[in-house]
A and B are shown apart, each in its own frame.
Chain A
Amino acid sequence: MSLKKFSELFGDLDSINSTNNKIEVLRNYFLSNDPIDNSWAIYLLTGKSNKRFISGRYLKNLFSQIYEYPQWLIDTCYLKVGDSAEVITLLLKNKTNSRKKKLSNISLNELLSETIPALSKLNEEEKNLEIKNLWETLPEDNHLIFNKILTGTFRVGVSIGLITKSISKLINIEEEIISHRLMGDFKPSIESYEFLINKNINLQELNSKPFPFLLANTIEDKIFKNSINDFQFEWKYDGIRMQLIKRSGNISLWTRGQELVNESFPELAEKMFHIKDNFVLDGELLVWNFKEQIPFDFSLLQKRINRKSPTRSIQIKYPIIFIAYDLLEINGRDIREIKLENRRIKLEKYFSKWQIKTENNISDIFKICDLIFPKDWPDALTYKEKSRENNTEGLIIKKKSSIYSSGRKKGIWWKYKVDPMQLDAVLIYAKGGSGRRAGLYTDYSFALWKDKELIKFASAYSGLTNIEIKELDKWIRKNTIEKFGPVRSLKPEMVFEISFEKIQISKRHKSGIAVRFPRITKWRKDKKINDADSLENAYELMKKIS
């Protein structure tokens, strides 16, 4: 099967809005292609890995070099298009139209398992020549896919859930099973595809795989009508959600992003090894402040995430803990179908058994989450407000009678986050967006007053509606003071309410502060720039919180 089929699939998925039609298109694709190509298609569509072979910048430079195209012209085009792979695809149309070389008809499998991996073995000169050769021999319809895979930017509006649904329809097996089969590592091969579409369910095969995670929804008002006793309350930790699996004596640590991270946290795997039972636990990994029994900031956890085989001193400097929320499987028995309150009883029972019976002390790296017991809803609110004191983000509220299903299922779990912190700030710079937002000014920088001067304190690009974005884009073009490349400095006139999660001292910023997850929550057309907040207000906010 040719790459062309996959390009067509991409085009279809990209232009169809209806979920049912997408499923239909996927089903037809799977039915009419080889298992190996299907396997690669799933690999790409689920974004299992977006390995970058060359950078967008490299791609643009290469094009400029080969076709003697001015770099600035490519950059100008990029501002309009917002995606390096697509810019080069469009520019190639101008260059390869009159080509005489024979077109090659390679398959998705050949491209991904041979052609592209072979590129990384070549020296730079050979590599450039080979890419040029591919540009000139691949049919034009395939350029976008090729460039996107090369630059690791292949993305299309298809969720894992959608892939799951279409495979489930294809073979008539429940989505849950498919979803489970798709968890974890997915190595494209005939076998992995055949495993996926196998009509016989063999749980043994799913041994190393995590269960699909159950996710919490944002709190809804209607929940307050229910009795407080129907719910279990936990702190909402800001760490890495994980499943800790021990089956047949083997430990695997899976993140919600479906990465196996055993190597980053060897001390945890080592300790769990001493527990006699087999189990699957759902929980959170944190860097833990043992003295105060609260988590450290997420920023410390970041020092651990991407570091494989951390040294002993790193392990001591950033001590981790796994906090278990839930027990999903015990000694080979899947207990996701029993009620949460009963799973909790089992979790507590087994945890105390492990604490007593395990030779090594496990509680310096593993605990179960404490529950909170608010008397009524106002009391729950008080707890929520206190969550900053123990470095959590709010509460997680779980229905006691719920089973552990998968995905962001409604009406089971809710997150009740602390209200964000807010400041009113003045828009001072704007930058062109990329991807969907190409050609519009959508990346904004905001400033606060310091005496009579406006000092930049945060950048944000989410929170406005499409209509507001267009309106603001128009205003930006009319009120530009100066252009620096893609950035425009603007007449200080517009005030926005900026919300964020955390505020702290930062020596790297001119303002002296750094905020986490800044976003626009309101366009304050009612405010003049003199009404905007000052840096002093920001410092006060910081004091109030700490």
Chain B
Amino acid sequence: MRTKQEYLIRYEDGNLYCELADIWIDPNKPVKKALITHAHFDHFTFGCEEYISTKETAILLKERVRDNIKIKTFEYGEEFKINGINISFHPSGHILGSSQIRFIFAEEKWLISGDFKLQKDQTCKQYEIVKTDYLISECTFGLPIFKWDESNKIANDISKWITNSPEKTSLLFCYSLGKAQRLLNEISQTSFKGNIYSHGSIHKMNNSYRELGIDIKDTIKIENKKKIDELKGSLILLPPSLSKGSYLKNFKNIQTAFASGWMSIRALRKRSGYDKGFAISDHADWDGILEVVKKSEAKNVFFHHGDSEALSKYLVEKESINVLSFGK
């Protein structure tokens, strides 16, 4: 077995780092060169000299940070070279523009899964199976209790939830980039035909998606002083950060829900403080992670982002796959 220093990619200060290329992946501190897998803020930090991402991620990021950051972009599948290492982005199915990143050096392939899901999502490219020798995978939902329902079933549940309380205003909390657009896309295909409003942060992302050629249902930007009667029976999409605090006082007679994979567990649902939870996620469930591990044909797997103890033990015992640890 190689030592930590001999791996092409390793953990350094809690970040994935490729020393040969002197490049960081989604670093949480300012560095010279950063590869960005997707435009969620927990994968981005200000102050890097140069960012590299897909075209879509770059556009979404620039819209979100409104700052003059320098981003070099590549198409999915397009190879580029840094210090003799071939690098390419591949769709990861998480949100629009999200990617896995493959490194090839001296015929050895490494694949960083990024955040990913296998489920159908009409707002972004489907996950692409990429073969590799080493796989670094996320495992946010790395337990077999996580098994996602089809997203149209969840959308129908949401539609029913709204229409069953016609006297109420239904507030659905979800991440403003990715989840919100996916939900809008799904809900527009259900029997719910009432008004849909969205918070400014979500509205902005909807527009960006449309500019990038994704069909997102038109929503009304929510104004603070909307008449309560107008909102009756309608759906409002809001970012989770607004669920606590005084923002909700703008509304009367509401019901609230949170759309997240964690909502599949009753205890978490109860503790969340929302009336209702819809278990829909942009991350892979247990089966999804296993499928990617197998289909990637990786001989060696690393996990990050999540509690990987059980998943690792399972792969070693049941599937005889070599699971390694960076020894953070």
Contact = CB atoms under 8 A, between A and B. Distances in A.
A294 B255 CA distance: 54
A142 to B, nearest CB: 15
A76 B309 contact: yes
B143 interface: yes
Contact of A17 (B146, B275, B310, B313): B275
Nearest to B266: A86
A81 B145 contact: yes
B314 A439 contact: no
A438 B265 contact: yes
A529 interface: no
A80 B145 contact: yes
Given A15-B275, A70-B314, A70-B317, A82 B267 contact: yes
A80 B265 CA distance: 8
Interface stretch (A89-97, A343-351, A454-462): A89-97
Contacts of B268: 438-439
B147 A94 contact: yes
A466 interface: yes
B66 interface: no
Interface in A72-111: 72-73, 76-77, 80-83, 86-87, 90-91, 93-94, 97
A93 B147 contact: yes
A77 B144 contact: yes
Contacts of B310: 72-73, 76-77
Contacts of B287: 94
B243 to A, nearest CB: 14
B317 to A, nearest CB: 7
A117 interface: no
B271 A466 contact: yes
A65 B318 CA distance: 15
A436 B270 contact: yes
Nearest to A78: B145
A87 B267 CA distance: 11
B267 A72 contact: no
A370 interface: no
B267 A436 contact: yes
Contact of B276 (A15, A82, A435): A15
B118 to A, nearest CB: 15
A437 interface: yes
A80 B270 contact: no
A77 B143 contact: yes
A292 to B, nearest CB: 48
A126 interface: no
B254 to A, nearest CB: 11
The size class of the interface chain A forms with chain B is 20 to 34
A87 B146 CA distance: 10
Interface residues of B, number: 24
Nearest to B142: A76
A14 interface: yes
B260 interface: no
A223 interface: no
A77 B314 contact: no
B326 interface: no
B140 to A, nearest CB: 13
Contact of A439 (B144, B267, B276): B267
B175 interface: no
A129 interface: no
Contacts of B147: 90, 93-94, 97
Interface hub of B145, B287, B314 (most chain A Cβ within 10 A):
B145
B267 to A, nearest CB: 4
B122 interface: no
Nearest to A88: B145
B286 interface: yes
Given A16-B275, A436-B267, A91 B144 contact: yes
Nearest to A87: B145
A15 B256 CA distance: 10
Interface in B247-295: 264-271, 275-277, 286-287
B144 A81 contact: no
Interface in A167-219: none
Contacts of B275: 15-17
Given A72-B313, A73-B314, A90-B264, A80 B271 contact: no
B267 A81 contact: yes
Interface hub of A72, A76, A94, A437 (most chain B Cβ within 10 A):
A76
B143 A76 contact: yes
Nearest to B274: A15
Contacts of B317: 70
Contacts of B267: 81-83, 435-439
Interface in B129-163: 143-147
Interface string A215-227: 0000000000000
A436 B276 CA distance: 15
Given A81-B267, A86-B266, 10 more contacts: A15-B275, A69-B144, A80-B265, A81-B265, A81-B266, A90-B144, A93-B147, A94-B287, A436-B270, A436-B271
Interface of B: 143-147, 264-271, 275-277, 286-287, 309-310, 313-314, 317-318
23 contacts: A14-B270, A15-B277, A17-B275, A70-B314, A70-B318, A73-B310, A73-B314, A80-B143, A80-B265, A81-B266, A82-B267, A83-B266, A83-B267, A87-B145, A90-B144, A91-B144, A94-B287, A436-B267, A437-B271, A438-B265, A438-B268, A439-B267, A466-B271
Which 10 interchain pairs have the tightest Cβ spacing?
Answer: A438-B267, A90-B145, A93-B147, A76-B310, A15-B276, A77-B145, A94-B147, A436-B270, A436-B267, A82-B267
